[in-house]
Copies of this chain bind each other. A is one copy, B any other.
Amino acid sequence: MAGPGIQPNQTANTVKTIEWTPEGIRLIDQRLLPLREEYLLCRTYHEVAEAIRSMAVRGAPAIGVTAAMGIALGVRQSQATDRDALKAEFRQITETLAATRPTAVNLFWAIRRMSELFDGLMKKKASIATVRTKLEQEAQRILEEDIAANKALGGHGASLIPNGKTVMTHCNAGALATAGYGTALGVIRSAIAGGKNVDVLSLETRPFLQGARLTAWELQKDGIPTTLISDSMAGHFLHSGRIGCVVVGADRIAANGDVANKIGTYSVAVLAKENGVPFYVAAPLSTLDLDIASGESIPIEQRAASEVTSIQGVRIAPEGIAVFNPAFDVTPHSYVSAIITERGVVRAPYLESLQKLKNQQ
């Protein structure tokens, strides 16, 4: 358990998940953490797309920010000398980035936001130089807004975290999954900053091990007491009475409050409910997809078998074994105690509460 008065270092300030630099987009390479802290420089939008696809950068909000920057980078490097050529190239860029990963809606949200700005500038017959500048500024604004949203939702969510208990989290919804500060981990950071005595139980999150590799690393850097367990242990600890609540992030939230998030989230939600432990989802509004009625319509990415049969290049299963590797699952809204956003905390009935939230200005 955390002692009172722990002052977490601000990982959000010390590790930059995504950064726009004169040479290109600089990403902390999340495939190498925690063994190696190396940065990847994406010099073209194709390299940005590959970084998203290969999960060098991952986490729904981080993917959105990275895609926005990828668009700005692509337009900056465009050889187009007239607007029609630029439009064609813009479409090429956005299609390439949209094809990287299907589930996290923040990717499509960021692409739409950048596209709307681009279309407006085209209508206004802005110069190519102006378009470049405006897109770079917009991508930077999306990054800054994401950090601000995380800090705001952290503040709203902090009151939900019980004092003196353990918080369970799955995957990594931290500074590494966002432009900084984090969603689920932002809520935990805010609770601790507000004086609460909290420790964290991090599920390792097979197959990609975001919990073992990223959440454990990020919270350890912040001095937040964290214990790592296998996903198979979630039920045992939720049954033990020591867990005050579960907080996770989200990749897409449907209009009825169904939540697509990292594979394993649904299991944790069911086990939490069965044991009377509140289950909270922390996500910015950019993760809401109110055009989709329920989780059943959310596309679930299937990833390579090798993520399951090998760990860090070491084979753990017999050659030739069949594998399923869905990267996400859907948690029906009936298991979700509350959704924490930058505009406040909403509860069931989500169809009404989410719509109302989205309509607020």
Taking beta carbons and an 8 Å cutoff, which residues of A are in contact with B? 34-35, 170, 201, 203-207, 209, 212-213, 216-217, 220, 225-237, 239, 262-264, 266-267, 270-271, 274, 308-309, 311-318, 320-326, 329
Q: A235-B329, A317-B212 are in contact. Are A270 and B274 (CB under 8 A)?
A: yes
Q: A204-B206, A229-B308, A266-B235 are in contact. Are A314 and B314 (CB under 8 A)?
A: yes
* Cβ-defined contact, B229 with A324, below 8 A: yes
What's the minimum C-beta distance from A302 to chain B, rounded to whole angstroms? 11
Secondary structure call for the A interface:
mixed
Q: Can you list 11 residue pairs at the A/B interface with Cβ under 8 Å?
A: A204-B308, A204-B316, A206-B232, A207-B230, A227-B321, A229-B323, A230-B231, A230-B264, A235-B267, A312-B316, A314-B314
Measured in the bound complex, the distance between the Cα atoms of B323 and A170 in whole Å is 15
What's the minimum C-beta distance from A335 to chain B, rounded to whole angstroms? 10
* Cβ-defined contact, A235 with B212, below 8 A: no
What's the minimum C-beta distance from A242 to chain B, rounded to whole angstroms? 10
* Cβ-defined contact, B230 with A263, below 8 A: yes
Which of A203, A235, A323 has its CB near the most chain B CB atoms (within 10 A)? A235
* Cβ-defined contact, B317 with A236, below 8 A: no
Measured in the bound complex, the distance between the Cα atoms of B237 and A170 in whole Å is 18
Which of A170, A212, A213, A313 has its CB near the most chain B CB atoms (within 10 A)? A212
* Cβ-defined contact, A326 with B233, below 8 A: yes
Measured in the bound complex, the distance between the Cα atoms of B322 and A225 in whole Å is 8
Measured in the bound complex, the distance between the Cα atoms of B326 and A235 in whole Å is 12
How many copies of this chain are found per oligomer? 2
What's the minimum C-beta distance from A211 to chain B, rounded to whole angstroms? 9
Among candidates B220, B233, B263, B316, residue contacting A320 with C-beta atoms closer than 8 Å? B220
Which of A204, A209, A239 has its CB near the most chain B CB atoms (within 10 A)? A204
Residues of B within 8 A of A274 (CB): 270, 274
Q: A217-B318, A263-B236, A318-B216 are in contact. Are A308 and B205 (CB under 8 A)?
A: no
Which of A230, A233, A237, A308 has its CB near the most chain B CB atoms (within 10 A)? A230
* Cβ-defined contact, A308 with B263, below 8 A: no
* Cβ-defined contact, B231 with A231, below 8 A: yes
* Cβ-defined contact, A228 with B321, below 8 A: yes
Residues of B within 8 A of A324 (CB): 201, 227-229, 233, 237
* Cβ-defined contact, A230 with B213, below 8 A: no
Q: Which residue of B lies closest to A233 (CB)?
A: B263
* Cβ-defined contact, B220 with A206, below 8 A: no
Residues of B within 8 A of A325 (CB): 229-230
Q: Which residue of B lies closest to A232 (CB)?
A: B264
Q: A312-B316, A316-B209 are in contact. Are A228 and B322 (CB under 8 A)?
A: yes
Q: Which residue of B lies closest to A307 (CB)?
A: B230
Residues of B within 8 A of A235 (CB): 264, 266-267, 270, 329
Measured in the bound complex, the distance between the Cα atoms of B231 and A173 in whole Å is 20
Q: A228-B323, A322-B226, A324-B229 are in contact. Are A316 and B270 (CB under 8 A)?
A: no
Residues of B within 8 A of A237 (CB): 324
